[in-house]
Structure 1
Amino acid sequence: MRLGMQIKEVAERLNTTARTIRFYEEKGLITPKKDTVNDYRYFSEKDLVRLSTILALREVGVRVDEIKELLDHPTISIPEYLNIQRSVLYEKWIEMRDMIETIDDMVKETTSDSVLPENFYDLAHHLSNLKRIRKSWKDRWNFDGQATHYDENIKRQGHRFNVHEGYDTVLEKIKNKINLNLGDTCLDIGIGTGNLGAKFLPLGVKVIGVDQSEKMLITCKEKHPEIETRKGHFLALPILDHSVEAVVSSYALHHLPDDQKLIALEEMTRVLKSGGQICIGDLMFKNQLHREQVLSSFREAENQLAIDCIEDEFYADQSLLVEWLSYHGFQVEKQQINDILGFVYARLIN
């Protein structure tokens, strides 16, 4: 019985070299089985998929140590390998798009009679800042570790400070507000275990769920096999331009600082079709004054837990979201559901 493909066959099939394959083996990225008699390496089909993922990521410039971190779990399934490839390729594609747009702006500057070097520096700095922001998001909350018990840990009521008060209300409100037809596509960003996205399935809507946590995506897929799950995040959505009718998100945007929230809104707008809708239910205040009023009331009540929870996250300023959306061609509705939970609905007018 044949154990698998030998290294020369693999190299030929993947259009690479045996030397390259041995290099990745030395770096611990692949671990093919070895025949105890002749010490030959034998590669399974899953080894080939893992190796093709490594080659694809290297092709777009991902460093070996970064690949090792991405593929840290040796039991990753084939769909997960493909999900990782897609996520990284979309990030690189968005980065290239940013570069092209910056160069276009620089070309426009050179057509004027007076060209100031400062203009070029500003554009280059803007591009560098975009790249930094898109790559800077880190999971400080260990969502992979939360995935298995996430649903049972959501407390709807009680506690001295309950961030999930109004959870079911806002999810239902998003479902009722979004107007979708049979066959439309809805993108749920930060889908988690699928509690929001699943509400659109009975309507015959295609739901794509994006999350940076692989474990959350696995749990979501186990609960709702009909949902298409994709690894990604707010700042680099693994979705083509103008391809969805609606974007929804719940209890996720507050993990981004304000400057990143605006880039997230740009990404949402990029993937929307003409007349598309955005609906966000999340931890937010009406504005900065409202935030200070709420914090002041918690101080008076000596509720340090509430203050610490708020200051540990990036609760949105609803007024900033509304201002950005209105300026970029959306008709916007807003509502504050309770002191810390808000709702924003926007329809693209064009």
Structure 2
Amino acid sequence: MYKIKELAELYGIHTNALRFYEKKGLLSSRRLENGYRMYEEADKETLQKILLYRAMNFSIADIRELLDNEKEHAHELYFQQLQLLNKHLHELSIIRDHILYELNAMLNDSYDEAQDHEQLQKLLQDLNKSQAWKDRWDFDSFATVYDEVVQHPSTDGLPFYVDYERVLDETARIAAKRGSTVLDIGCGTGNLTERLLLKGLQVVGVDQSLEMLVQAKKKLPSVLLHQGTFLALPFEKQEFDTITASYAFHHCDDEERLLAVREMKRVLRSGGRIIIADLMFADKKARSRYEEQCTARQRAELEDECFTTVEELTQLFTAEGFICSSYQISDSIWIFLAELA
């Protein structure tokens, strides 16, 4: 048992910090008849975790969520911790790059204070948007049956997985043409990741779904896997020669697509490439023509996703300094290639 002063001194903190954590519901104590607080060994261990999370700049709300969910399966708890840590690291990395850019501007007499304030405001807005992405499709519940679904897709919905094997083979073939390090975003259960590995490439997989990553790890125990999204990739600048994304980019809406392009560009090396294989259309007119021959269910599926057009992607990537090309695999499946000039 520890008195409040003893426990505070043990970790070099003020007793007011312990009272604050109790007030916020993070820590508990046992009160003696004289009103003194006493802490047990379990409370000491909880305090260790609180101080660790605070050192990583986690909010009180984030810490409460982690502590409340400690009784869950171990990998789920670590996944939550990693999610929060990746979020903070991503934010700090972006802010650091902005500060370095402005510092260099000051040193070279090209600093514009008004422009800096405007850019910083836009940066913070983009960071908030990138962290706000939610999985409204619940891919965790889909993970164990995903491979079965793509091998035997529904015949009355969108022909989403028609030529699935061919699309992945072609994506891997293009990726293997140049460069050795590949980031596979939205790797899911690892089907494209596996093909990239067989091409002799160094591959890192990223997905926002823990259960998808669990399935991928079972299939590919030696591959590096990370939790992340198109909008928040847990990597430093210019780490990869190639980025692939198969059947995943359509989960970004109109506003998120620009953020996704910039985030992919951030981790791409000079001269690198982005390969997107997905359901999309040549332009808005092509989408309208396609919708006209769709069933009611197919139209509903079209509206539920954020399918884009080759025309729009070309405009987005070109504005960010990419050279673009594309070709059609089937009525609705395209492979889009963007090379950083």
Give the shorter-chain TM-score range. 0.7 to 0.9
Residue 235 of structure 2 aligns to which amino acid in structure 1? Answer: I
1:228 maps to 2:228: no
In 2, the alpha carbon distance for the partners of 1:30 and 1:145 equals 33
In 2, the alpha carbon distance for the partners of 1:266 and 1:292 equals 29
Residue 313 of structure 1 aligns to which amino acid in structure 2? Answer: E
How far has the Cα of 1:131 moved from its partner?
3.0
In 1, the alpha carbon distance for the partners of 2:255 and 2:212 equals 25
In 1, the alpha carbon distance for the partners of 2:144 and 2:283 equals 35
Relative distance call for 1:276 and 1:137 in structure 2 (3 A) is same
State whether residues 182 and 243 of structure 2, in contact with CA within 8 Å, keep that contact through their aligned partners in structure 1: yes
In 2, the alpha carbon distance for the partners of 1:266 and 1:322 equals 14
What are the superposed Cα offsets for residues 162-217 of structure 1, whole Å, 9 maximum, x if unpaired?
A: 322232221111101113679x3211111111111121222332221112222222
In 2, the alpha carbon distance for the partners of 1:217 and 1:24 equals 34
Query: What SS does structure 1 have at the residue aligned with 2:336?
Result: strand
How far has the Cα of 1:13 moved from its partner?
8.4
* Aligned counterpart for 2:279 among listed residues 283, 291, 294: 283
Match of 1:343 in 2: 335
For residues 184-263 of structure 1, the aligned pairs below 5 Å read: 184-263=180-259
How far has the Cα of 1:89 moved from its partner?
2.6
How far has the Cα of 1:94 moved from its partner?
4.2
Match of 1:173 in 2: 170
In 2, the alpha carbon distance for the partners of 1:320 and 1:164 equals 23
Query: What SS does structure 2 have at the residue aligned with 1:173?
Result: helix
* Aligned counterpart for 1:135 among listed residues 131, 137, 148: 131
Q: Scaled by the length of structure 2, what TM-score is found?
A: 0.78
Residue 176 of structure 1 aligns to which amino acid in structure 2? Answer: R
Relative distance call for 1:99 and 1:23 in structure 2 (3 A) is same
How far has the Cα of 1:252 moved from its partner?
1.3
Query: What SS does structure 2 have at the residue aligned with 1:285?
Result: coil
Query: What SS does structure 1 have at the residue aligned with 2:337?
Result: strand
Relative distance call for 1:249 and 1:338 in structure 2 (3 A) is same
How far has the Cα of 1:291 moved from its partner?
1.2
Task: Supply the RMSD in Å over aligned alpha carbons.
Answer: 3.9
1:333 maps to 2:325: yes
Residue 211 of structure 2 aligns to which amino acid in structure 1? Answer: K
How far has the Cα of 1:126 moved from its partner?
2.7
Residue 190 of structure 1 aligns to which amino acid in structure 2? Answer: G
Residue 172 of structure 1 aligns to which amino acid in structure 2? Answer: D
State whether residues 193 and 203 of structure 2, in contact with CA within 8 Å, keep that contact through their aligned partners in structure 1: yes
Residue 40 of structure 1 aligns to which amino acid in structure 2? Answer: E
Residue 80 of structure 1 aligns to which amino acid in structure 2? Answer: F
Match of 2:40 in 1: 40
Gapped regions of structure 2 (runs ≥ 5) = 30-37
State whether residues 230 and 263 of structure 2, in contact with CA within 8 Å, keep that contact through their aligned partners in structure 1: yes
Compare 310-319 and 23-32 and name the one that shifted more. Answer: 23-32
Match of 2:91 in 1: 92
How far has the Cα of 1:282 moved from its partner?
1.3
Relative distance call for 1:81 and 1:166 in structure 2 (3 A) is same
Compare 162-171 and 222-231 and name the one that shifted more. Answer: 162-171
Relative distance call for 1:313 and 1:275 in structure 2 (3 A) is same
For residues 24-173 of structure 1, the aligned pairs below 5 Å read: 40-42=40-42, 51=50, 54-57=53-56, 59=57, 62-69=58-65, 73-74=69-70, 75-77=73-75, 80=79, 83-97=82-96, 100=99, 123=119, 126-162=122-158, 163-173=160-170
In 2, the alpha carbon distance for the partners of 1:122 and 1:206 equals 39
Match of 1:35 in 2: none
In 1, the alpha carbon distance for the partners of 2:234 and 2:66 equals 16
For residues 310-325 of structure 1, the aligned pairs below 5 Å read: 310-325=302-317
What are the superposed Cα offsets for residues 129-165 of structure 1, whole Å, 9 maximum, x if unpaired?
A: 3133213211111122222222223354451123222
Q: Scaled by the length of structure 1, what TM-score is found?
A: 0.77
Match of 2:296 in 1: 304
The aligned length equals 327
In 2, the alpha carbon distance for the partners of 1:171 and 1:71 equals 41
How far has the Cα of 1:15 moved from its partner?
6.3
In 2, the alpha carbon distance for the partners of 1:49 and 1:175 equals 46
Residue 168 of structure 1 aligns to which amino acid in structure 2? Answer: E
State whether residues 86 and 238 of structure 1, in contact with CA within 8 Å, keep that contact through their aligned partners in structure 2: no
State whether residues 180 and 205 of structure 1, in contact with CA within 8 Å, keep that contact through their aligned partners in structure 2: no
1:274 maps to 2:270: yes
> Identical aligned pairs, as a percentage?
31
In 2, the alpha carbon distance for the partners of 1:145 and 1:341 equals 25
In 2, the alpha carbon distance for the partners of 1:168 and 1:17 equals 61
State whether residues 29 and 68 of structure 1, in contact with CA within 8 Å, keep that contact through their aligned partners in structure 2: yes
Compare 308-317 and 218-227 and name the one that shifted more. Answer: 218-227
In 1, the alpha carbon distance for the partners of 2:139 and 2:119 equals 35
